[in-house]
Structure 1
Amino acid sequence: MASFVTEVLASSGKLEKEDLAGKICKISRRVEDTKEAVCDMINKRYKEFLPSLQASEELMDQVDKVSREMDVLKDCIDNEVQQNIHCSLAEYAKVKQQLEKNTIILTMLGHLKEFHNAMEDFSKAFADNRYVDAAKLLEQAQLSVDSLKTWKSSELPLLRTLGSELIVQRENFIYHLGAEWKRLAIWKLPSSKEPTNPRWSLKTELKLTLSCGKDGDPGCPAHLSSILQALAMQGDLHYKIKLFSQVLLKNMLRPLIVHRGLSVRVTDNSDGPTLTVEHLDAELQPDRSSPSQVYTKLLLVLRTLHSHLLDMSVGEKKLSAILGEMIWEELSHCIIHECLVYSIPTKSSQLENYNAVIKETEEFESSLKEMQYLQSDSTDLLKYAKDVNCHFASKKCKDVIVAARKLMTSKMHNTVRIKPETRLTLPKLPAQGSEAPGRQQKMSSEEEVRLDGHQQLSSRTLCLPVCRISESVQQLMELAFNTQREAVGSSVQCALQLFFTVRNIFQLFYDVVPTYHKENLLKFPHLAAIQHNNCMYLAHHLLILGHSFRPHMPPPLSDGIATFVDMVPGFRKLGAQCFLAQLNTQKAELLERLSTARNFSNLEDEENYNAASKAVRQVIHQLKQLGIVWQDVLPVNIYCKAMGSLLNTAISEVMAKIMLLEDISSEDGEHLHTLCQTLIVEGPLVFVPLAEESKNSVYQEEVPLFVKRWMTFKELVIVLRANLQEIVNRWAEGKGPLAMEFSGPEMKSLVRALFQNTERRALALAKIK
């Protein structure tokens, strides 16, 4: 045991692997022996109860020695073996680092070899016009350069040279492909940058020439495909097609859509077809092209391009699909706004004929799908064509509003006469249910409507009074009736649009006319009267316009919402306000003229009398002039009320000034009587509403009905020349005609001004109570 441990401890230097293993085996055997001895001792100690104290002590000593030898061996292993392990790891790491460096160098050399081989093969493929192979080889060379750049330790000056060479070769390759592309489609364009007229596009020409392969075979599909594939691999194909699509739209497709006189001619040549824009007639026609014409011209261009250039697949798509994605949105927008929008019918009766346009649009899109220009099943173009009812209504509404506004801003003084026999005439409407055909016809002025089989309405029912209205307003009403007529039999949406457009017409009139003609309505009495009649004319028709068409409208218009009655009060008020504003202006002018009469005092003075006489004459002249302006315009009753109101203002002002006089001499009384008598004689003459009216005297006799203070004024004139007894008699103790017009204090004041203070005057005043 001691010699074994001593031998282990005496060892120095490296421990051989075999020696160490042998020593471990020996220790293991000693451990096993000891383990058996311990087990045997324990067995005897606790099982056989044999006293063996001496043997146990010897055995314990043996265990302690083996344990000490194990600790020594362990320390030796920790010191010697661990030291050698660290040395081995350092050597292994150094060798590994050297190996990795060598591997990197070998990899870089491999990439350099791949780049060189790729560039050599590229030059051969390029020279042989194998463009797809050349493009792939350029990609391989690029991958090799990229791989070299990824190594951090590969900062070689050679990389810059390789990158520059690759860029030069790629740009040269792309330039050559671009030249090949230009030979495929050769444009001849006008010199001007912006088109000013249709003839600008007549110089446009597109020549399609298929590039030849190495064998000189023109039109070789494989060679053409090789060019396109190479352009796509270089990322330049979409850019080339985008430029081509922009030129195609601007110089050929759009002019063919916009100008009816332009067409396209295809000429087949040995090296490819040529598309030339030409005009159909000697003079270019300004009208818009029909959808059929546009579709025919566009398909001719697109089919030619498809068959000679675009029927090639690049990746998963054909060139026609790529071009279609680029041009379809703008092309369809141009077709809609430059062609389809002008083909929308202007009358509902023409809507059925529009089905042909819808069918042509479907066939046009179907042809585009066959050539793969178009991929989507639902397009704005076809949707627009199918929504013809909505577009018809929108176009109709727009045209109606524009026409209505033009009428509203036209001259108002061009008038038409509304005669007594004029009746509201309704357009022919479709029959409702079992209605008799005769109910569809226009109502004549001789027709009478019977009620309960016995009573009948007057022949003047639904007739306007005799007056004059603006010709533009009559045309406006006809426009509203015709628009309502278009709504009959239309779709619900179309009918609603047209109905509310008619309402917008009247609302526009309500807002525009008073503002646009504001100054003239205040300045010219003639126009104010016409505007009054216009408003009353529109209000009259609005009463029954909705009711007349409601049974023929689709729901919900037929359920009661198709009415214009709510607008009637507004138009009546508008007309009344306009005319009342003019009446107030005329009243102000009358009062201004009477203000120059010097209060009708001291008429003994010739100057004062002349001033008062001039003021009265001016009032009469103003009323006569207004009568001339209004007598053929306003209805009779309105005319009489208006003139009566103005005359009443004048005589009320005269009476007020006379009643304020405190002293009226006999001569002054005569002068006042003369002036007032002038008003009494000439005032009724203004009540001549119609020149050809045979009953003008009737209106003159009814002056007290229109002039509120006419009888009061006449009584005042009588008093100015009467004596005290006549005044007392006409007073008749408060029951006479004089008492009906004047109060007691007013009469007493007038008597005191006319007569001197005598007993007779005092007696007369006492009788006036």
Structure 2
Amino acid sequence: MEQYDINKVLEDIFGSNESNWKPSEKIPLISKEIEQLKIDLKSYLNTTDYDIPAILDESTQLCKESKLLVQDMQTCKQEIEEETMAEIVRSIENRNQLIKELQQIHFAINIVYDVVQCGKYVKEFDDGREAQSFTRAVEAVYDLLQYIEVPAEGFKDLDVYSNTKHTAQLIWDSLCHDLCVEWTRMVSWNIKASTRKTVVTITLNIEDNMVLIDVLNALDKSKILLEKVAEFSRFLLDEVLVKIIHNDCTVYDATDELMTITIMHKENYRPQYDAVISNLRLLFHYLNNKLNIEFKRDTSIMRMIGKEIGAEFSAILERDCLIDTIPNNINELQTYGRITSEIEGFQNFLVLVKFFTEKFSILQYVNNIDVLFANKSSQYFLETARNIMLKDLSATMSIGVESIPETGDAKAEVDEAGALGILDKTIPKSLFYFPRCMISKTAQELLDLVYVMMEQAVQCSDVVCKKLYNTTRLVFELYDSVVPYHHENYLQTIPQYVALFHNNCMYLAHNLQTFGDKWLTLMEGRELDYPISFVDLVQKLRDLGYKHLTIHMQQQRKQILDNIRSSDLNCIVVKDELSGNAEAAVRQCLRQLHLLKNVWIGVFPKNVFVKLMATLVNMFVEELIHRVCTVEDISSVMASQLAEMYKIVVQKAPHLFQDQSDIEQNVQSWIKLQELIFMLSSSLKEIETRWKDGTGPIAVHLRTEEIRSLIKALFQNTQMRANLLSKIK
């Protein structure tokens, strides 16, 4: 029977395009379709392969049987509820009783088992002792102590538990003591110290046999070995290895078991790296022969010592010994490979004797060789510079030119040359020349040192070059701090030291003006990430020289003024005549200036010497003039004394200069002093003549107030004095 499409049938009957239809019209069509369906169904049933009536009969029979089964199940349910559930309840009660009985039996079995196990461990201990095996004895007692830490329930309440635990602990303590005695017999050391030396002896009674392996395993099992190895390792590092690195030592093996290390006490002594490595090789060779016995897989005392102190030893050896091998100059750095080969050989030796593992290396510092070399060079140069600065300043040398040479007038052929010619005319030639004077040899020695630093820097990598450049600047900053402080007493008391220090500062500053350009010339072609210049240090050094020279000039000025003010020249107004101390004070001041001349002449450049001497002489003369010009009354006797005294100054002061004409050109008050002497020894008429209506020498070199004051102090109040005073206005 084909599939029946109800939708298609309805569409055919009602029509999809019909909008107005009546039921009466469609009912016959539907009835007809129903009849046709009945005919088709009947035809299908007649022709089908299934026996439909038989199927219906079978279904009816199954329904009856199902009802009978439901009735049987209801009956069974009733029987279970009435009889079986009662039996189940009785069974559960019996099960609970059985569980209680089983628990009691299990409790007793556990206690008995613990007692048996404790007995087993005790027997194993006895067997180990009989076999003279520390390992078996330690394992048995250790296992027993571990086992009774978690006993079965109820076992702790038995006397056998407390007795067993106490006995096991006593046995354990005895075993540990015996093992410690064995370790001390195998490994021991002694230290004998005196004022001159310390002798350290190490005794290793260790033989590669089963007894040793048994003892080491027992020590390891009892957790004592790690403690003892740590103690020995710390002794080895602190009392032997570090001392070998830092001191003069002798290492020798007296016997196969005995090693002796003799440490000599020397102040400020640092052994050479090759001597340190040689001593360490002997020591580790001895330790390797005795301690490199494996008592379990990949484990020996030597390996344990290496794990304990290997890293710390490596760091100390690098920091306090190997880094010292880094040279402080470029020539030695180029041959440093020979030293690194020796150190690498020692590194391989330490790995071979199992003291170092692969992760330890004493050559790590070589990776930063540039930085370390820069630091070492910097430290060396700073120490050398400081030692130079501490030397005596009085060892001198002549430096500079007598006069500035004249350059030719050759015309430039190109514009650049013409521009340079204009620049050459604009910049003073004195900028490039240093005047003839005396400097300390230490100043030239310091300058030579910084030139060496510069030449070395330009041959090195950028890291080293930058470090040495900064160090060079530090040298001059160090000069500012060290020299004035170290030579402070001399700079305060000895004029020659002040002069030399001033010249040293000027000389160094003079060279620093072009030092940066010389450095850059040598660095041509290299890209720098920092500026190179020393110009900023020039004025600092000059100011340093000026400062101490100024302080000394103030001291000299104070001494001159104190000499004058402590004499009768300070009390002219209250005396009619001067005592001998006035002339003595003047002569003392002249002697002081003469001593300065003897000390400074030839030390300072000529122009500097003239300016300094002229400054002091002018101050001296000004003070002498001031003493007279401020007095209201001067007796004729005192005037005569003052004139004679001041003539001494006029006679002797020119000899303080190399060229006597320098005093007139550089001492401003020199002519003024001469005019003052004239007034002290002249009459009113002579003064009037020299006044010459305000155009004479007196008018030129003395102020009007000073002239009037002197006339009033020297001469009595007469008509002639009044007339002269009226003219001087």
Provide TM-score, normalisation by structure 2: 0.76
Q: Which residue of 1 aligns with 2:703?
A: 743
Give, in whole Å, the separation in 2 of the partners of 1:277 and 1:392.
36
Confirm or deny that 1:206 pairs with 2:207. no
Deviation at 1:584, TM superposition (A): 1.6
Identity of aligned residues (%): 24
| Cross-structure match for 1:56 | none
| Residue in structure 2 matched with residue 147 of structure 1 by the alignment | 150
Amino acid in structure 1 at the alignment position of 2:475? I
**1:629-648: CA deviations, max 9, x gaps?**
33343332222222211111
For 1:231, the equivalent position in structure 2 comes to: 219
1:276: which partner in 2? Answer: 259
C-alpha change, 1:138 and 1:685, in structure 2 (3 Å) is same
Conservation of the 8 A alpha-carbon contact between 2:632 and 2:713: yes
Shift of 1:359: 2.2
> For the residues of structure 2 that align with 1:736 and 1:284, how far apart are their CA atoms?
83
- 1:242 partner amino acid: A
Secondary structure in 2 matching 1:377:
coil
Distance 2:184 2:643 in 1: 108
Q: What are the residue-to-residue correspondences of 1:659-738 with 2, within 5 Å?
A: 659-687=629-657, 696=658, 699-738=659-698
**Does structure 1 residue 355 correspond to structure 2 residue 332?**
no
CA distance in structure 2 between the partners assigned to 1:768 and 1:294 by the alignment: 95
Give distance in 2, aligned partners of 1:316 and 1:145.
32
Letter matched to residue 362 of structure 1: E
DSSP-derived class of the 2:162 partner: helix
Change in Cα spacing, 1:592 to 1:284, as seen in structure 2 (3 Å) is: closer
Amino acid at match of 1:206: T
CA deviations over 1:580-620 (Å, ceiling 9, x no partner): 112122222222222223457479844x2534333322322
Q: Take 2:348 and 2:182, find their aligned partners in 1: how far apart are those partners?
A: 32
2:144 alignment partner AA? A
1:506-517 to 2 correspondence within 5 Å?
Answer: 506-517=476-487
User: Whole-Å Cα distance in 2 between the matches of residues 732 and 536 of structure 1?
Assistant: 49
Asked if structure 1 preserves the Cα contact closer than 8 Å seen for 2:311 and 2:360, the reply is no
Q: How far apart are 1:126 and its partner, in Å?
A: 3.4
**Which residue of the partner structure matches residue 366 of structure 1?**
348
**Pair 1:614 & 2:584 matched:** yes
1:675-734 Cα deviation digits (max 9, x unpaired) = 2222211111222xxxxxxxx3xx210213321211222222223334445434443443
The question of whether the paired residues in 2 share the 8 Å contact of 1:422 and 1:463 is answered with no
Q: Is 1:567 aligned to residue 547 of structure 2?
A: no
**Residues 582, 147 of structure 1: CA spacing in aligned structure 2 closer, same or farther, 3 A cutoff?**
closer
Query: Alpha-carbon deviation of 1:163?
Result: 0.8
- Counterpart position of 1:325: 307
Instruction: Report the CA distance shift for 1:526/1:297 in structure 2 as closer, same or farther (over 3 A).
Output: closer
3-state SS in 1 of match to 2:660: helix
State the one-letter code of the partner of 2:321: C
Measured in 1, the distance between the counterparts of 2:266 and 2:603 equals 51
2:568 counterpart (589, 593, 597)? 597
Q: Which residue of 2 aligns with 1:637?
A: 607
Q: CA deviation at 1:94?
A: 5.3
Instruction: Output the CA distance in 2 between the equivalents of 1:416 and 1:164.
Output: 90
Cα distance in 1 for residues equivalent to 2:634 and 2:147: 129
Aligned-pair distance for 1:654? 2.0
**Aligned partners of 1:243, 1:715: CA distance in 2, in Å?**
97
- What SS does the aligned partner of 1:367 have? helix
Paired residue type of 1:747: I
Answer yes or no: is 1:124 the counterpart of 2:127: yes
Asked whether 1:482 is paired with 2:452, we answer: yes
Cα distance change on mapping 1:283 and 1:99 into 2, 3 Å: closer
Contact kept? 1:111, 1:147, Cα under 8 Å? no
Cα distance in 1 for partners of 2:664, 2:478 equals 41
Deviations 1:401-445 (A, max 9, x none): 334334444544x2303244699xxxxxxxxxxxxxxxxxxxxx9
In structure 2, do the counterparts of structure 1 residues 600 and 670 end up closer, same or farther at CA, with 3 Å as the change threshold?
farther
1:138 corresponds to which of 141, 166, 169? 141
Instruction: Report deviation, 1:550.
Output: 3.2
CA–CA separation in structure 2 for the residues paired with 1:604 and 1:705 = 35
**1:341-392 deviations in Å (ceiling 9; x for gaps):** 442324321112221222222232233334442224363x212244344333
Write out per-residue CA displacement over residues 154-202 of structure 1, whole angstroms, 9 at most, x where no aligned residue: 322221111122223333433444444445x454634x2x46545624x
CA-atom RMSD, angstroms? 4.4
User: 1:418 maps to what in 2?
Assistant: 398
- Cα distance, 1:503–1:343 mapped onto 2, change above 3 Å: same
SS at match of 1:200: strand
1:429-482 superposed Cα distances (whole Å, 9 cap, x missing partner): xxxxxxxxxxxxxxxx9x99x996999999998554343334444443333333
Q: Deviations over 1:135-167 (max 9, x none)?
A: 44334423432232x525632222111112222
The residue number in structure 1 matching 2:368 is 387
Whole-angstrom CA distance in 2 between matches of 1:645 and 1:303? 79
Distance 1:422 1:405 in 2: 32
Q: For 2:325, give the aligned amino acid.
A: S
2:232 equivalent to 1:244: yes
Hey, what's the Cα distance between the residues in 2 that align with 1:422 and 1:195?
A: 65
1:139-218 alignment runs, 5 A limit: 139-148=142-151, 151=153, 154-183=156-185, 185-187=186-188, 189-190=190-191, 192=192, 194=193, 196-197=195-196, 200-201=199-200, 204-210=201-207
Aligned to 2:38: none
Residue 109 of structure 1, aligned match among 107, 112, 115: 112
Distance in 2, matches of 1:577 and 1:310, equals 70
Distance in 2 (alpha carbons) for counterparts of 1:556 and 1:673:
73
- Give the drift of 1:284: 11
Q: Aligned partners of 2:267 and 2:505: how far apart in 1?
A: 44
Distance of 2:245 and 2:492 partners within structure 1: 52
What residue in structure 1 maps to residue 292 of structure 2?
Answer: 310
